[in-house]
Chain A
Amino acid sequence: MAVVKLDKIVKRYGGGGPVVVEDVDLTIDDGEFMVLLGPSGCGKSTTLRMIAGLESISGGTLSIDGRVVNDVPAKDRDIAMVFQSYALYPHMSVADNLAFGLRRRSIPGGEIERRVKEVAAILGLAPLLARKPSALSGGQRQRVALGRAMVREPQVFLFDEPLSNLDAALRVNTRSEIIKQHHRLGSTMIYVTHDQVEAMTMGTRICVMNAGKVAQIGAPLDVYWQPANTFVARFLGSPPMNLMDATLTAATRRASSPALDAPLARWSDGVLQARDGRKVTLGVRAEDMAIDPAALDGAPGGRVTGRTIAVEPLGAETLLLLELPGGGEITARLPRHVTAAPDQEVELFFRADAAYLFDVETGDAIAPLETGAAAVRAAVQRRTH
């Protein structure tokens, strides 16, 4: 049980090396499941390893339950970590792997045995206790790695992409196993992944990172429905959100370009006035694009026209890739029966409330009137009805 607080954490490798983690502010509440999500090389592992104590902290303060632990060695932080490579001790049996961390902590032998047995039973490792890691399958090794963290009953669990070496089916199973254990133990957990599905399904909150900085922190659906910038908008969602250049006209409440025309229903006059005549980035998710104007239910909607680059029938749905006249590509996720000839002109429609606006220079979202949980509820409702 612990609150982990990162305050302006910085990591610089070597003396004057490049900054790989920059001013990360993040508070992980007691019992929370925080997911660090971001592309490869954005500093997720580095951040996690600083929390673990495996990497020195170049700046800022890290505290656990109010105690600053910047200079506390890893072995004294009472944190357990599950590694991507599992890092099982190859010369020890499964039972010894599980017990190794307990033996160090002067826990009586009987208690160690009891805990090892208990965790082995929970994770279905009981028949494997006498085996060496080399005699286990990938999934079994993964469970031993998980068990090794669980027997310790630590304050905080850290996971660094623990599922990335598993096949798809096993990944789904283990994912729910970890969620189950989180509910059972109620411990603080910090989980690194670059897989957005894992992030969306597992996290109580997600911290999206980009190039060593925090791009956005929030509940999975908040982050999905209200991306704080174009990076988050494109990183969450598959295919990524379509971003299109447009010019804003406050008087008509529209964003438009030769290929595009969209009503801006969600923003206040003040917000629109401030950007009258300026360039903006308009975002629409691929699943919010429709080829049939009936999808708008007669409400005023936006439209965009482009030429077909590719049609990708996926079975359950079809992806349509268009090139816009002014440059840029967009993707639409359409019903499976849709077809289009190459280089054919296609017009797509989207509802006014599916549009997002971003600043052209900073990429930051231009916030609509409604924000916070209310907006999410409204958005979800709008789209499910």
Chain B
Amino acid sequence: MAAFLAAASGRAPLPRLFSRGILALVLGVYTIYQLGPFLWLATMSVRTTAEISADPYAWPSPMHLDQFRTAWVDSDFATYFWNSTMVVVGAVAVLTFIGAAAAHALARYRFRGNRLIYGILFSSIIFPPQITLISLYQILVDYNLYNSLFGLALVYISLQLPLTVYLLEGFFARIPQDLFDAAKMDGYGDLEIFWRIVLPVGMPAIATTLILNFIQLWNEFLFAVVLITDPDKRTLPIGIRAFMGDHFQDIGMIATGVMISVIPVIVVYVFFSEKLIRGMTAGAIK
């Protein structure tokens, strides 16, 4: 923004100033459009339902921060949060590691069937994942994984693996071969090269898939609601859904619950944001 202002106040030709002005306007409107509902939700999360009914758009005063405590303690949000964390962190960790290893193998090694495997993986990205829902349900029941967080994590891994491999393969394939050759000459074997060269150099791409997978799975509703019925094993999205059923009138508490589920996504994004990682590994590939 600062750079933008500086450029605008400089001696840029008028048509360019104009087009930049339009751009800023569009961006501004779009940002408000995107952020508005979220900010509204945030204000509601610290207001009581009575206050909200009186004036839906008012600024919260006083702030009822204790609503978070109530949701967390009295409404099992702690359990949902813990379940979500287990499933999503576990799945994302496995996804990242297996996805990176598979992507490296596909990008770097010439072997029979390499492109065939890649093609199959890629084709599975095209289909909507919902088409697997019924057969997955049956398979999980058969293997005693129905209604289990472990089973859900396995499903999540298989859902996100193709896209993860696809994104990472594209990036890994652009790492210069000389880097691998140099490491070989330096005495390193294939596994060590993966660990010490591919992972660090591929960090920007890995961080991207990590954020993507985390957000996707943290918000995942459809598979969770079909494959989990036990209230103790609910993840946050189904927890909130159930919460809405119980307290349909309590808009304030629902907003609080949603905020609880959104906060980790923001934290993860800030932590692994691509820009941050780019800064850390500047000039990794040129």
- A and B: interacting chains: yes
Which residues of A come within 8 Å of B, CB atoms?
A: 49, 52-54, 73-76, 79-81, 83-91, 100-101, 104-105, 132-135, 148, 152
**A90 touching B281 in the complex, CB below 8 Å, given contacts A83-B178, A85-B178, A134-B286:** yes
Q: Judging by beta carbons under 8 Å apart, are A101 and B197 in contact?
A: no
Q: Which of A53, A84, A101 has the most CB of B within 10 A?
A: A101
Q: Judging by beta carbons under 8 Å apart, are A104 and B186 in contact?
A: yes
A86 CA to B286 CA, complexed, in Å: 12
Could you show 23 A-B contacts with beta carbons less than 8 Å apart?
A: A52-B181, A52-B185, A53-B184, A54-B184, A75-B184, A79-B185, A81-B185, A83-B178, A83-B181, A83-B182, A89-B201, A90-B201, A90-B281, A90-B285, A91-B200, A91-B201, A91-B281, A101-B185, A101-B186, A101-B187, A104-B192, A134-B282, A135-B283
Q: Judging by beta carbons under 8 Å apart, are A87 and B178 in contact?
A: yes
Which residues of chain A have C-beta atoms less than 8 A from B192's C-beta?
Answer: 104
Interface string of B130-144 (1 = CB under 8 A from A): 000000000000000
B18 on interface, CB distance cutoff 8 Å: no
A85 CA to B183 CA, complexed, in Å: 14
Which residues of chain A have C-beta atoms less than 8 A from B178's C-beta?
Answer: 83-87
Q: Which of B181, B189, B197 contacts A89 (CB 8 A)?
A: B197
**A104 touching B187 in the complex, CB below 8 Å, given contacts A90-B201, A91-B284:** yes
Q: Judging by beta carbons under 8 Å apart, are A104 and B188 in contact?
A: yes
A8 CA to B282 CA, complexed, in Å: 46
What are the nearest 10 A-B pairs in CB distance?
A134-B283, A101-B186, A87-B178, A104-B187, A87-B182, A91-B200, A74-B184, A75-B187, A90-B284, A83-B178
Query: Which B residue sits closest to A54, measured CB to CB?
Result: B181
Interchain nearest-CB distance for B116 vs A (Å) = 18
Interface string of B242-286 (1 = CB under 8 A from A): 000000000000000000000000000000000000000111111
Which residues of chain A have C-beta atoms less than 8 A from B200's C-beta?
Answer: 91
Interchain nearest-CB distance for B128 vs A (Å) = 38
**A75 touching B201 in the complex, CB below 8 Å, given contacts A90-B281, A91-B284, A134-B282:** no
A304 CA to B88 CA, complexed, in Å: 85
Q: Which of A53, A87, A88 has the most CB of B within 10 A?
A: A87
A49 CA to B184 CA, complexed, in Å: 12
**A105 touching B281 in the complex, CB below 8 Å, given contacts A89-B197, A91-B201:** no
A88 CA to B283 CA, complexed, in Å: 11
A85 CA to B180 CA, complexed, in Å: 12
Which residues of chain A have C-beta atoms less than 8 A from B181's C-beta?
Answer: 49, 52, 54, 74, 81, 83, 87
B62 on interface, CB distance cutoff 8 Å: no
Which residues of chain A have C-beta atoms less than 8 A from B201's C-beta?
Answer: 89-91
A76 CA to B178 CA, complexed, in Å: 18
B13 on interface, CB distance cutoff 8 Å: no
A-facing residues in B165-186 (Cβ within 8 Å): 176, 178-179, 181-186
A-facing residues in B186-200 (Cβ within 8 Å): 186-189, 192, 197, 200
Q: Judging by beta carbons under 8 Å apart, are B176 and A85 in contact?
A: yes
Interchain nearest-CB distance for A177 vs B (Å) = 20
A81 CA to B177 CA, complexed, in Å: 14
Which residues of chain B have C-beta atoms less than 8 A from A101's C-beta?
Answer: 185-187
A81 CA to B183 CA, complexed, in Å: 10
Query: Which B residue sits closest to A99, measured CB to CB?
Result: B186
Q: Judging by beta carbons under 8 Å apart, are B285 and A81 in contact?
A: no
Which residues of chain A have C-beta atoms less than 8 A from B188's C-beta?
Answer: 75, 104
A132 CA to B187 CA, complexed, in Å: 22
Which residues of chain B have C-beta atoms less than 8 A from A87's C-beta?
Answer: 176, 178-179, 181-182
Which residues of chain B have C-beta atoms less than 8 A from A133's C-beta?
Answer: 283
Interchain nearest-CB distance for B280 vs A (Å) = 9
A104 CA to B186 CA, complexed, in Å: 8
A-facing residues in B219-260 (Cβ within 8 Å): none
Q: Judging by beta carbons under 8 Å apart, are B185 and A75 in contact?
A: yes
Interchain nearest-CB distance for B191 vs A (Å) = 12
Q: Which of B189, B197, B282 contacts A75 (CB 8 A)?
A: B189
Q: Judging by beta carbons under 8 Å apart, are B185 and A74 in contact?
A: yes
Query: Which A residue sits closest to B176, measured CB to CB?
Result: A85
Which residues of chain A have C-beta atoms less than 8 A from B189's C-beta?
Answer: 75
A105 CA to B186 CA, complexed, in Å: 9
A100 CA to B178 CA, complexed, in Å: 15
Query: Which A residue sits closest to B192, measured CB to CB?
Result: A104
Q: A87-B178, A100-B183 are in contact. List 13 more A-B contacts (CB 8 A).
A: A54-B181, A74-B185, A75-B189, A80-B185, A89-B183, A89-B197, A89-B201, A90-B179, A90-B283, A100-B186, A105-B187, A134-B284, A135-B283
Which residues of chain B have C-beta atoms less than 8 A from A104's C-beta?
Answer: 186-188, 192
A49 CA to B177 CA, complexed, in Å: 13
Interchain nearest-CB distance for A173 vs B (Å) = 23
Query: Which B residue sits closest to A53, measured CB to CB?
Result: B184
Q: Which of A79, A86, A132 contacts B282 (CB 8 A)?
A: A132
Interchain nearest-CB distance for A277 vs B (Å) = 56
Which residues of chain B have C-beta atoms less than 8 A from A54's C-beta?
Answer: 181, 184-185
A90 CA to B280 CA, complexed, in Å: 11
Q: Which of A89, A91, A132 contacts B182 (CB 8 A)?
A: A89
Query: Which B residue sits closest to A90, measured CB to CB?
Result: B284
Query: Which A residue sits closest to B286, measured CB to CB?
Result: A134
A86 CA to B182 CA, complexed, in Å: 9
Which residues of chain B have C-beta atoms less than 8 A from A88's C-beta?
Answer: 182
Interchain nearest-CB distance for B197 vs A (Å) = 7
Interchain nearest-CB distance for A134 vs B (Å) = 3
A54 CA to B197 CA, complexed, in Å: 17
Q: Which of A73, A74, A148 has the most CB of B within 10 A?
A: A74
Which residues of chain A have C-beta atoms less than 8 A from B286's C-beta?
Answer: 90, 134
Interchain nearest-CB distance for B281 vs A (Å) = 6
Which residues of chain B have C-beta atoms less than 8 A from A52's C-beta?
Answer: 181, 185
Q: Which of B181, B203, B282, B286 has the most CB of A within 10 A?
A: B181
Which residues of chain A have C-beta atoms less than 8 A from B186's C-beta?
Answer: 75, 100-101, 104, 148, 152
Which residues of chain B have C-beta atoms less than 8 A from A89's C-beta?
Answer: 179, 182-183, 197, 201
A26 CA to B188 CA, complexed, in Å: 28
Query: Which A residue sits closest to B189, measured CB to CB?
Result: A75
